[in-house]
Structure 1
Amino acid sequence: MPDQQPREITDVDTLRALTHPLRLRILNAVGLHGPLTATEVAERVGESPANCSWHLRQLARYGFVTEAGGGTGRQRPWRLVTDGHRWGAGEENPELARAGDAAARVLLDLEYRKLWDWMAARRQQPAVWRDAGSFNQFLGWCTAEELAELQEEIRALFGRYVDRLADPAARPAGSRPVRLMAWAVPEVDGPVVDDADAEGDEAR
C-alpha cells in the first residue's frame, strides 16, 4: 500500500489546471486505460490528438500525469501520477479558495455523472458486481479529531489499490475499475456539544 500522503496543492495555477472538464476526462482515460498516447486518448475522449497532446502537456506540467517512457511527439505514452492530491486545508487566500472551489465543482460534476451512469445500468450488471457496489449514507457525531482520523482511515483503506492504476500487471484477474467518492462534513447548522453539556451527561 502506498505510504505517501496526498500532495497538498497550494498553487492557484495547479488548481486551475483541474478546472477544465476535458482534462478530467483525459485523466480518467489515462487512469483506466493507460499508459496512453495523445492519439489513444483522443480516441477515448472524442477530441483531436493535437488538443489532447496540449492538455496532456499541461497536466504533466502541474504533476498530474507523467511520461511512461518510449515514443516521441504524440506517440509518447503518458501515465497517471497516483500519489493523490488534496487542497483547501488551512488558511487560503481568496484567489486560491476560488480556484479550489472551481476544481472541486468540476470533479464532483464528473463523479455525479459516473454515479448516475452506474445507477442507470446496475440492474444489467452481473449480480456479484451489482451486490458489491454500494451507495451509503450515514449520520453520526464526531469530534474534529475523530473526523480527521476517519478521513485518514478511508484514504488508507482505498490506498491499498491505488498502485493498480499505474501498473496494469498488478490488477488481479476479474478486477474492474471502481470509483470511491466519499465526503464527511460537519452539519453547518447542527448543534455542538460543549464542555458543559458533556460534563452534565457524565454526571447523570
Structure 2
Amino acid sequence: MSFDGRRLRTAGELKALAHPLRMDIIEQLSINGAMTASELGDALDETPANCSWHLRKLAEHKFVEETHDGHGRRRPWQMTRIGVSFHALDADEPGAAVFNRTARALQSLMVEREVARFEHNAQAEDDWDLGASQSATYLTREEAASLAGRILELLMEHRGRLTGDEPVPEGASLVYMLSLLSADTGAE
C-alpha cells in the first residue's frame, strides 16, 4: 500500500468521497488495514449491506479494492493508497467550474468533520491537551505554497506508522491533524 497521496483530478472522484459514511470507511481502512463490510458495519454502527454498497462506490473510483483473501460474504477490502489531495483547477481548464465547486463542498465537509472530532476529543479527560494554534501574516503566493508544503511534510513525518512500514511506539495514540491555509485576497 502506498502513502504517497493520490491527487484527485475529476469532480467524480471528489463526489465519491463527499459522503460521511465513505469518509468513515476510508478512515477505518486507512487506520486498521483490510476489513470486511461486516467488520466496517460493526465499527461504524452501520449495516454490512450499506457498507458494502459504499465500498463498491469507492472501488469504482479506485480508492479501495478487494484483497482477494476471502470468500463469500467474508471479503476484505483495503485502501489502494493512503491520502488524497486536490487543488482548484484554473478557470480555463475543462470542467473547472464543476470541479472547483465540488472541491469546495468536500473541503467544507472535511473541515466540519475534523472540527467535530476536535471538539469531541477536547471533552475527554486526559493529559493529552495539545491545544490549538491560529496565526496570520502577509505572504506571497509562492511563500504560502512553500509554507503549505512544509506543513504537509511535518504532518506526514510519521506516516509509516499508519501504513505498517514503521512500528507504533508503546504509549502512542492516534492523533488527528488538520492544516488550513486561506488567503484573504479581497475577492468576493
TM-score, normalisation: structure 1: 0.79
How much has 1:148 moved relative to structure 2?
A: 0.5
Provide Cα deviations, 1:43-76, integer angstroms capped at 9, x if missing partner.
0111111110121122123232333451134422
SS at match of 2:106: helix
Show structure 2 runs of 5+ residues with no match. Answer: none
Counterpart of 1:31 in structure 2 is 30
Residues 168 and 34 of structure 1: CA distance in aligned 2, closer, same or farther (over 3 Å): farther
Alignment of 1:117-132 (within 5 A): 117-121=120-124, 124-125=125-126, 127=127, 129-130=128-129
Q: Which amino acid aligns with 1:167?
A: G
Alignment of 1:151-162 (within 5 A): 151-162=148-159
Which whole-Å CA distance do the structure 2 matches of 1:51 and 1:21 have between them?
A: 13
Conservation of the 8 A alpha-carbon contact between 1:30 and 1:79 = yes
Q: 2:119 aligns with which of 116, 119, 132?
A: 116
Residues 180 and 9 of structure 1: CA distance in aligned 2, closer, same or farther (over 3 Å): same
Conservation of the 8 A alpha-carbon contact between 2:89 and 2:99 = no
Q: Which amino acid aligns with 2:152?
A: R
Counterpart of 1:167 in structure 2 is 164
SS at match of 1:76: coil
Considering fraction of residues, name the structure with more helix. 1
Show structure 1 runs of 5+ residues with no match. Answer: 191-204
Which runs of at least 4 in structure 1 moved beyond 3 Å after TM superposition?
66-69, 80-83
Q: Which amino acid aligns with 2:106?
A: A
Residues 78 and 167 of structure 1: CA distance in aligned 2, closer, same or farther (over 3 Å): farther
Q: 1:134 aligns with which of 131, 136, 146?
A: 131
Residues 46 and 168 of structure 1: CA distance in aligned 2, closer, same or farther (over 3 Å): farther
Counterpart of 1:181 in structure 2 is 178
Which whole-Å CA distance do the structure 2 matches of 1:111 and 1:105 have between them?
A: 10
Q: Percent identity?
A: 30
Counterpart of 1:200 in structure 2 is none
Say if 2:100 is the partner of 1:103.
no
Which whole-Å CA distance do the structure 2 matches of 1:27 and 1:109 have between them?
A: 17
Q: Which amino acid aligns with 2:101?
A: R
Q: Which amino acid aligns with 1:30?
A: L
Conservation of the 8 A alpha-carbon contact between 1:81 and 1:166 = no
Alignment of 1:42-81 (within 5 A): 42-81=41-80
Residues 21 and 3 of structure 1: CA distance in aligned 2, closer, same or farther (over 3 Å): closer
Q: 1:150 aligns with which of 147, 151, 154?
A: 147
For the aligned residue pairs, the C-alpha RMSD in angstroms reads: 2.3
Structure possessing the higher radius of gyration over alpha carbons: 1
SS at match of 2:17: coil
SS at match of 1:17: helix
| Matched length | 182
Which whole-Å CA distance do the structure 1 matches of 2:53 and 2:14 have between them?
A: 17
Q: Which amino acid aligns with 1:37?
A: T
Q: Which amino acid aligns with 1:111?
A: E
SS at match of 1:23: helix
Conservation of the 8 A alpha-carbon contact between 2:66 and 2:77 = yes
Which whole-Å CA distance do the structure 1 matches of 2:71 and 2:88 have between them?
A: 39
